[in-house]
Each structure stands twice: as structure tokens, then as C-alpha cells.
Structure 1
């Protein structure tokens, strides 16, 4: 059986090509923005979208999880993470020592096996089927 190679870190983020969508919005909004005074404020939407695309991410390495949102950054050592919780829309949250939940931006259910692997076995993969226990009557 081969041993899986574990990367030194994982970065979960929105693909950088999404910036093209925000730029396309800015281009198509130009006739509207110049139609009347004050409508130039519409350009705030693509600027905020680009900032969000560039800034928001979750980084995991062997020691910690780092989450970045548009205005904040949280560092969470693996020793503080008790479990992962999956929401109805497949977003993942880290459950910490005191029961609080920290959202992991851009992390989805499909990423849980990778997070389990990079945590060094500290957290089980919740998507993995539990190993069957031998039944007592089979042991005889």
C-alpha cells in the first residue's frame, strides 16, 4: 500500500480568474455609470468584488489553520480545533475548544479529506466510512 504524500500547506481560495468577471461587470456598467451624476458609485461593486477575490482564503499547514476574510484574519492552531461542522450548503466551520464555530472561507465538504490529511491525523475525515468492527460471533 502506498503512503499518500502530504503537501506542506493547502490554500483554499476563489480562482483568480474570477477577477475577469468583476472587470467585465465594470466594463458593462460604464454606460450606466456615466448616464447621470452620482452613478459612478456603481464602480464600487467591482472594486469590492476584486478585493474579496484576492483577500478571502483559508490556508492550512501542519501546525495551524489561517482564515482571511475581507477585514479580518484568524490563526487557529490544530490543537484548538475539535471538529469540523458542515452547514446545509456544504460550507465548513471549525469547532473550537469552547464550542464556538469559525467559518472556513472557500472550504467545502469535498476538501475535508485533504484537511484531515494535512492535520496529521489530529482530525478524522468525516466523509470516510468508519472501519467495521469484528463481530463477537466471528471471533469464535
Structure 2
């Protein structure tokens, strides 16, 4: 059973460490300012906690304070936001944000899903091989992936 975990890259924790180091002179300038250390700690918690785990049975979207499990049978489509995280569109129309999953991850998501999510890059490659040209086919049926703004 293949399983993929999409995470925020670990080097983002360096930003939390750098913020803690930079806050030190201010944090010790007066009593009570040590609370400034809570900001880099909260950012580190966010980096470590946010992730999406995908296997052939379900999607587990884990946020900062909770998680949502979505079975593949409950999934209607995947909403693609060009510069953001993808969202799962459920059968009832509600959205579940998939932390750390971006449009570039669609091929891997399609592979793990077992064909439940269409791979837009494979569809383009198949059309190009069929047509013998390098351009997109304007009359082709788009994959079942929603695009959002």
C-alpha cells in the first residue's frame, strides 16, 4: 500500500530559530517581553504539524489544531489554486484544505490515488503522443480537477 506524506519543508524551521535568536535582545530588555518567544515557537509548531498524508484508502489533512480524514469515496474533485494549497471538494460541496499539497504535486497524488484523481501531465503527454505534435489540444476534455482563484 503506497503512502505519501506532503509536508512543509523542514528548512522552514531555520526561520523559526532565526526569529528566536533575533528576538533575544528585545525579549530580555524588559520583564514580560519573553513572551515574544511564543511567535517563533508557534511558527515551528505550524511547520511541524501541517501535513497531508495520502494512501490508497483515504486522505488525512492535518492542520495546526486538528485533522480531517476524507475517504476516497467522499471525494468529488480536487480544487487547484495556482499559488496555494489544493483543496478536496467533497460530495456535499464542502472544501477540505490539503496542507502542503500544491499543483505541482498532482502527478504524485494521481499515482497514489489509484486512478481516482486524474494526472493532468499524463493526459497532456498522452495527447501529444497521439497527435504527434508538441502543443496542447484545444478540443481535449480537461481532467476532473477544479481550478480556483
Which residue, out of 93, 104, 108, partners 1:110? Answer: 104
Moved over 3 A (4+): 130-134
Q: Which residue of 1 aligns with 2:45?
A: 51
TM-score by length of 2: 0.78
Q: Which residue of 1 aligns with 2:115?
A: 121
Listed as ranges, the gaps of 5+ residues in structure 1 are: 1-6, 135-140
- Larger CA Rg, structure 1 vs 2: 1
TM-score by length of 1: 0.83
Q: d(CA) in 1 for partners of 2:91 and 2:23?
A: 47
**Matched position secondary structure for 1:107:** coil
Q: Which residue of 2 aligns with 1:13?
A: 7
Aligned-pair CA distance for 1:45:
0.6
Which residue, out of 42, 49, 54, partners 2:36? Answer: 42
Pairwise CA RMSD of aligned residues? 2.0
Q: Which residue of 2 aligns with 1:31?
A: 25
The structure richer in strand per residue is 1
